[in-house]
Amino acid sequence: MTAPFFQRLADRIERIDSVVSVGLDADRSRLPEHLTEKDLPQWAFNRRIIDATHEHAACYKPNAAFYEDAEGWRALRETVAYAHGKDVPVLLDAKRADIGNTTRQYAKLLDEVDAITVNPYMGRDSLQPFLDREDKGIFVLCRTSNPGGADLQDLELASGEAVYERVAALADLWNEHGNVGLVVGATAPEELESIRKQVPDLPFLVPGIGAQGGDAEAAVKHGLADGVGLVNSSRGIIFAGEDGGEAFATAAGNAAKRLKQRLNQYREG
């Protein structure tokens, strides 16, 4: 059996000295002109991004939203195989979950990738087929980075806890196989700190730095559990250079390296 995801992630973080998650959100409207002629432009783009960034990437995080048609799924499959060929795990950002028979189908996505993001709104049974995958990583949305993240997640329950605190507590209970992490946005640094205190053992995926302006220092200081966790940037890396031609890949490589170095200051500090 393959080693558990969080163990493999810990090994990779140590080996390349990086907690950077490179978000492969290959928006077709922003791909370099010269790649749009290719058979699968997103795959052509991702391959170049992976070549340029893999030394700095603790994982790749493609968001499924950018791949949900026949051509996109083909591009995604090629991308995942290529990332694996470079020994980089892939976290599919799919934010799935549904009633039992449907969610069992969703959980099959984990046959292709190493980890996934899931939505806790429908409760434990909607996540069970994911949680049962002991060797995979299951990241539960807890306190999201978007402006409306507070609309429901910050609501106070009768017990006095906020909804996101309840989610963190439940995720901790659901972590019977040591395969559960939380998604907590860098745009909510106070919540990041308080959730870290509440669940010291759960690794976080922290999106929202770069294009969304989140707090990179808080992301590192509170996102890691015993050194393990991920800080994601998507547009800030893959679209770092849009001057045309192949220079975009070099720009992405430099952006990933700079982010790694910046985050590492806080890891070491």
Ligand X SMILES: O=C(O)c1cc(=O)[nH]c(=O)n1[C@@H]1O[C@H](COP(=O)(O)O)[C@@H](O)[C@H]1O
Residues that bind ligand X (CB under 6 A): 23, 25, 63, 93, 117, 144-146, 183, 185, 207-208, 210-212, 232-236
Q: What is the distance between the alpha carbons of residues 207 and 234, in angstroms, rounded to a whole number?
A: 9
- Beta-strand ranges (E) seen in 69-136 are 91-96, 115-118
Least Å distance, CB 142 to ligand X, is 9
Least Å distance, CB 250 to ligand X, is 19
Crossing angle of the two packed helices 247-268 and 216-223, in degrees rounded to 10: 60
- 95 as an active site residue: the answer is yes
Q: What is the distance between the alpha carbons of residues 122 and 111, in angstroms, rounded to a whole number?
A: 22
Tokens of 154: 């910050």
Least Å distance, CB 246 to ligand X, is 22
CB nearer to ligand X: give 14 or 242.
Answer: 242
DSSP H or E stretch at residue 224: none
DSSP H or E stretch at residue 263: helix 247-268
Nearest to 138 by CA among 198, 204, 193, 80: 204
Sign of the C-alpha dihedral, residues 175, 181, 185, 190? positive
Phi-psi region of 261 (alpha: psi -120 to 50; beta: other; left: phi over 0): alpha
CB nearer to ligand X: give 148 or 160.
Answer: 148
Catalytic residue among 95, 108, 136, 221: 95
DSSP H or E stretch at residue 183: strand 180-184
Tokens of 114: 């190493």
47 phi, psi to nearest 5 deg = -60, -45
Least Å distance, CB 62 to ligand X, is 8
Active-site residues, by number, are 95
